[in-house]
Each structure stands twice: as structure tokens, then as C-alpha cells.
């Protein structure tokens, strides 16, 4: 371990080994979601799940995860971040087994919600421990970039492994895939990760915890109902109740000596802008990924494994974008990199807006790769801005914000953009009676029991209706990314890169001993001293 000229502690071999361990739950974060997307058609077929139930199988996980992230981040500050991480990994493994053998959609929805709570223990702990291990700004930026790249790697690996499992076994096998990773974390984590608590943290304020969870869940539910069912009183009542809980939460945080969230952080324009960028960036990414997974299997007619292979290039685009951005950020202001990437993504979304059932898959995948590569810098650099703005004693709470923002945005993206597709589908299929008029999965299942001519007619109409809704959602995403890009370029465009540091000796991270090739070291810039 060395120090730079400013006195910051430079990470050595032990810290990089610890980061290698933290990569495990980071992989799981996206592995769980991408596998579920691929398994949805089989779940809908085997369990007879409705379109609403299938949305809640995904949304229940995302919403409970987002709703409890702030609480789990604060809890980690008090009981220890490593302890929370290991306990969450054990709970996640047990619940995954139950999900794999769920007998009906209702049980699966409930277990997925509990998995969201267990999952909420993982990412705040990962980011908080990353901040503890890497205190030097440029090393921290690289470490966060590696965590983001690991999440993206899970996006690439998940469909491949999940597709193979779904081709050879039942849909529940996809939920068993994360268990080996969790067991490895449980065994290796205590040996390699430091325990860390906030030095001045008091007991967890249960009223604040309840208000934060209620605010997120009720608002998300109201927005989901508003997008799916239109202007209904129930939706507005839910949003109003959620906003009331959020207001009460904010007022309580201002009065507490040890608040769950330090609201003063949001007075920093860079912090607020980076947080909102994470929300909207992952909103469009997750919502689009959800639609693409359905498109590949139900419109293009691919089996799960082949669909997984087609999703690999976009995942690699995120990895390239996030790792390349952390290196480029040494010389170029982070805001310019993030804003330029968002504008690049908007071009990909515009291309997706013109997709129809006859579009070659290479066009779809190329557009998604452009989208992913453009969003990669946002994921890495905006996360680093958020967690780098907090003092060490509030690292858990800041990490929870950095985790909550994208997870909440992603959950909203799948719910709202998914609802946009559903509304457009139902409008185009209004003359079709029965479940086939509700969603594409039901239409594909119904077509299997019709004579060939009627089957082809129904499938052609259903696929056209789905892609019409998909195109609308893509154009909405394009407009959002342009607006966010403009905001980022104005607020963060002049934010200076970290000052270069001159360590007294070179350090080579043990994490990269597996990647000794010079090409890798040149691509990542992590192989030698910083």
C-alpha cells in the first residue's frame, strides 16, 4: 500500500483482491434480471400467468429492491456492511430455491418480492465497501467502472447460461443459476473483505425506514397503474399517498441528528444531476431490454439460447463504454463523456423506433449495441460522482442512493415502457377476443391451437401490434435521453477530471492477474500503477 502526493491512500494487492470478491454480487445484480426476462415466456406458458402477473414477477423484484435499498444502506452503516452483504447472500440463495419450485404465479410473485428485499442488501454493500477499499479518486473511479462492467458482464453471461438451461431444463433452473455465486461469496467474503461501520451511526430509525419504503412502493404502484389503466382515481390516490409519505420522510430527515439520508447532499447540483441521470438512463435501458427479450423469442421466434446469443453484443457494448469512460475521464470532464454517450444512445433508440417484424435481427442488435455503449459511461461516471460526494461516515447511505436511483429507474422503465407497449398492443388488437388480445405471449400460445391459416393471421397481427408499441417506447426513450444529455452537458460539462497522482511505487492489482495480456492492460489501464 502506498500514498500519493496528496496523502490519499493508494490501493494495493489486498484491495484489488477484495474488489474481485465484490464483483460476485455485482454480476448477480444483472444476472438475476436478464435470466428472468428470458424465462418469462416459459413461465407464462407453464404456470398460466397473465400479462399482469408476468409484469409483477419482474416488477415485484425491482420495486421491493428499490423500495428497501435506502433502508439497507443505512442498516449496513450500523451493523456492518460485510455482515449485511453475507446475510443477504444467504437469504437470496434460500429464496431462489423456493422461486425455482413455485407451484403457481401467485407464489412466484410473492417470492420474487422477497428476493428484491434480499437483493437490496447486495449493491449498497458492494458500493460502500468499494469506497472503503479505494479512497484515491482515480482508483475509486476505476473500481466503480469495474463494478459497472461486472454488472454488464452479468447481462452478457446471463442470457447465454440462462438460455442453455431453459433449452435443457424447466424454467425454474434459471433461478438456481445464481446460487453457486452466492455460496462462493459466503465462503470467500469473510476472508477477504473488511468489516466497516459508520463510526457515529446510531440505531436505525424505524419510522424513517417505514416512510421511505412506503413512499417508493406506493408512488411506483400509482405510476404503474396510471401508465397501464389511464387516468384512474386509484392511481392518483396512490401517487398522492406516496408523495405524502415522501414529504413526511424528508421532514423527519431534516430533524434527525443521524438521518437515514443526508439531504444536504442534494444541494450539490452535480450530485443531484448525477442521481437523476442514473434514474433516467437505467429507465430507458431496462425498459428496452425487457422489450427486446420478448421480441427475440415471441416475434423473431428464437429459442432462449439463440436469443441469449443475440443479446451478447449489447452487453459487451456496456462493458466497453463503462471501462473506456473511466480511462477517458482522466483527461475529459465526466459530464461531456456522459452527455455525448447519451446522445449516441438516442441515435440507437431512433433506429429501434423503426423496427418491425421483418427487420433483420442484425439491425436490432446493432441499434441496441449503440444504445448500450452510449449508456455505459453514464453508469460508471455518474455512479462515481454520487458516491464520491459523501463523507466516509455516510458512504453506506450515499451508496444506497447510487444503487436506488438506477434500480428505481429500471423498475419504472420496465413498468411504464412495458405498459406503453401493452396499451399500444391492446389498441391494435381491439377486435381480437380472449387472452390473445391482451398480450403477445397469450397470442403465441393461442396460435398453437389454431389451424395453420388462422394461426399465421393471428401471429402476424399480434407481432405487428407488439412491434408498433415497441417503436413508440423506443422513441419515448430517445426523447428522454436527449433531454437528460442536454442537462448533463450544462451542469456537469465543465466538471474537471481528477488531478493526476504520482504514487511512490507501482502496484499491480491481483484481480487482474488473470488478464496479464498487454492488450487488456492497455484497454483498462488498471494493470500498473495509477
Q: Indicate whether 5 pLDDT > 60.
A: no
Per-residue DSSP letter, 297 = I
CATH (domain of 320): 1.20.1250.20
Q: Check residue 367 and give left, alpha or beta (phi > 0: left; psi -120 to 50: alpha).
A: alpha
pLDDT on residue 484: 92
Model confidence, pTM: 0.71
Q: Helix (H, G, I), strand (E, B), or coil: what is residue 210? A: helix
Q: Helix (H, G, I), strand (E, B), or coil: what is residue 10? A: strand
* In a domain? residue 429: yes
Q: What is the percent of the chain with per-residue pLDDT over 70, rounded to a whole number?
A: 81
* In a domain? residue 448: yes
Q: Which alpha helices (DSSP H) does 295-394 contain, by range?
A: 304-310, 312-328, 334-352, 361-388
* In a domain? residue 530: no
Q: Check residue 262 and give left, alpha or beta (phi > 0: left; psi -120 to 50: alpha).
A: beta
Band of pLDDT at residue 188, cut at 50, 70 and 90: confident
Q: Indicate whether 299 pLDDT > 50.
A: yes
Residues β-bridged to residue 2: 10
* In a domain? residue 523: no
Residues β-bridged to residue 10: 2
Its domain, for residue 397, covers 14-205+256-500
Inter-residue contact 394 to 268 (CB < 8 Å): no
pLDDT on residue 397: 62
Q: Indicate whether 64 pLDDT > 70.
A: yes
Q: Domain tally for the chain? A: 1
Highest mean pLDDT of the ranges 49-63, 81-95, 258-272: 81-95
Residues 6+ apart with CB under 8 A from 221: 63, 238, 242
Q: Indicate whether 439 pLDDT > 90.
A: no
Nearest to 124 by CA among 171, 65, 64: 65
* In a domain? residue 248: no
What pLDDT digit, counting tens, does each position of 379-429 carry?
878 887 887 766 655 655 666 677 777 777 776 787 778 778 888 888 888
Q: What is the mean pLDDT of residues 457-470?
A: 88
Q: What is the mean pLDDT of residues 132-151?
A: 74
* In a domain? residue 112: yes
pLDDT on residue 519: 37
* In a domain? residue 217: no
User: How far does CA 230 lie from the centroid of its chain?
Assistant: 27
Inter-residue contact 35 to 163 (CB < 8 Å): no
Residues 6+ apart with CB under 8 A from 513: none
Highest mean pLDDT of the ranges 204-213, 218-227, 332-341: 332-341
State how far the Cα of 239 lies from the Cα of 219, in Å rounded to an integer: 5
- DSSP calls for 89-141: HHHHHHHHHHHHT-SSHHHHHHHHHHHHHHHTTHHHHHHHHHHHH--SHHHHH
Q: Which H helix or E strand runs over 2?
A: strand 2-3
Give the number of residues written for the chain.
530
Nearest to 207 by CA among 250, 155, 146: 250
State how far the Cα of 163 lies from the Cα of 176, in Å rounded to an integer: 13
Rounded to 5 degrees, what angle do the CA atoms 161, 163, 169 make? Answer: 95
Nearest to 139 by CA among 488, 392, 503: 503
Of 494 and 353, the structure prediction assigns the larger pLDDT to: 353
Band of pLDDT at residue 125, cut at 50, 70 and 90: confident
Inter-residue contact 285 to 317 (CB < 8 Å): no
Q: What is the mean pLDDT of residues 31-47?
A: 74
* In a domain? residue 134: yes
Amino acid at each position: 500500500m502506498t500514498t500519493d502526493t496528496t496523502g490519499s491512500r493508494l490501493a494495493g494487492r489486498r484491495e484489488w483482491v477484495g474488489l474481485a470478491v465484490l464483483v460476485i454480487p455485482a454480476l448477480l445484480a444483472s444476472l438475476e434480471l436478464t435470466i428472468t426476462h428470458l424465462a418469462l415466456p416459459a413461465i407464462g406458458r407453464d404456470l398460466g400467468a397473465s400479462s399482469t402477473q408476468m409484469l409483477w414477477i419482474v416488477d415485484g423484484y425491482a420495486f421491493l429492491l428499490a423500495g428497501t435499498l435506502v433502508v439497507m444502506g443505512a442498516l449496513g452503516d450500523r451493523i456492518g456492511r460485510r455482515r449485511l452483504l453475507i446475510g443477504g447472500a444467504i437469504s437470496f440463495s434460500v429464496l431462489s430455491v423456493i422461486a425455482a419450485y413455485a407451484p403457481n404465479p401467485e407464489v412466484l410473485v410473492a417470492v420474487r418480492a422477497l428476493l428484491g428485499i434480499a437483493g437490496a442488501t447486495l449493491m449498497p454493500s458492494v458500493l460502500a465497501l468499494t469506497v472503503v477499499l479505494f479512497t484515491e479518486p482515480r482508483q475509486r473511479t476505476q473500481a466503480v467502472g469495474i463494478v459497472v462492467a461486472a454488472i454488464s458482464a452479468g447481462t452478457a453471461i446471463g442470457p447465454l447460461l440462462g438460455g442453455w438451461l431453459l433449452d435443457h431444463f424447466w424454467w425454474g433452473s434459471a433461478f438456481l443459476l445464481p446460487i453457486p455465486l452466492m455460496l462462493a461469496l459466503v465462503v470467500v467474503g469473510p476472508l477477504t473483505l473488511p468489516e466497516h461501520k459508520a463510526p457515529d451511526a446510531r440505531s436505525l430509525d424505524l419510522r424513517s425506514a417505514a416512510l421511505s419504503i412506503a413512499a417508493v412502493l406506493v408512488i411506483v404502484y400509482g405510476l404503474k397503474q396510471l401508465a397501464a389503466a389511464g387516468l384512474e382515481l386509484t392511481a392518483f390516490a396512490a401517487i398522492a399517498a406516496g408523495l405524502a409519505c415522501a414529504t413526511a420522510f424528508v421532514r423527519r430527515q431534516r430533524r434527525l441528528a443521524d438521518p437515514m439520508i443526508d439531504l444536504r447532499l442534494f444541494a450539490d447540483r452535480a450530485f443531484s444531476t448525477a442521481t437523476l441521470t442514473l434514474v433516467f438512463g437505467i429507465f430507458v435501458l431496462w425498459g428496452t431490454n425487457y422489450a427486446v427479450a420478448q421480441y427475440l423469442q415471441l416475434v423473431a421466434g428464437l429459442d432462449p439460447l439463440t436469443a441469449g446469443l443475440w443479446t451478447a453484443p449489447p452487453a459487451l457494448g456496456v462493458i466497453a463504454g463503462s471501462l473506456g469512460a473511466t480511462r477517458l475521464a482522466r483527461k475529459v470532464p465526466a459530464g461531456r463523456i456522459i452527455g455525448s454517450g447519451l446522445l449516441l444512445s438516442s441515435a440507437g433508440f431512433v433506429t429501434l423506433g423503426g423496427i418491425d417484424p421483418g427487420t433483420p435481427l442484425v439491425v436490432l442488435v446493432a441499434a441496441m449495441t449503440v444504445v448500450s455503449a452510449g449508456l455505459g459511461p453514464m453508469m460508471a461516471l455518474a455512479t462515481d460522482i454520487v458516491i464520491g460526494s459523501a463523507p466516509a461516515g455516510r458512504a453506506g447511505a450515499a451508496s444506497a442512493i447510487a444503487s436506488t436511483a438506477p434500480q428505481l429507474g429500471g423498475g419504472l422503465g420496465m413498468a411504464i415502457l412495458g405498459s406503453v407497449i401493452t396499451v399500444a398492443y391492446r389498441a391494435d388488437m381491439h377486435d381480437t377476443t380472449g387472452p390473445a388480445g391482451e398480450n403477445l405471449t397469450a397470442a403465441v400460445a393461442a396460435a398453437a391451437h389454431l389451424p395453420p391459416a388462422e394461426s399465421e393471421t393471428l401471429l402476424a397481427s399480434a407481432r405487428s401490434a407488439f412491434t408498433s408499441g415497441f417503436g413508440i417506447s423506443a422513441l419515448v426513450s430517445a426523447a428522454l435521453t436527449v433531454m437528460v444529455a442536454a442537462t448533463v452537458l450544462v451542469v456537469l460539462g465543465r466538471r474537471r477530471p481528477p488531478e493526476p497522482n504520482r504514487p511512490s511505487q507501482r502496484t499491480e492489482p491481483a484481480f487482474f492477474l488473470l488478464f496479464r495480456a498487454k492488450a487488456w492492460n492497455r484497454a483498462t489501464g488498471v494493470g500498473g500503477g495509477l
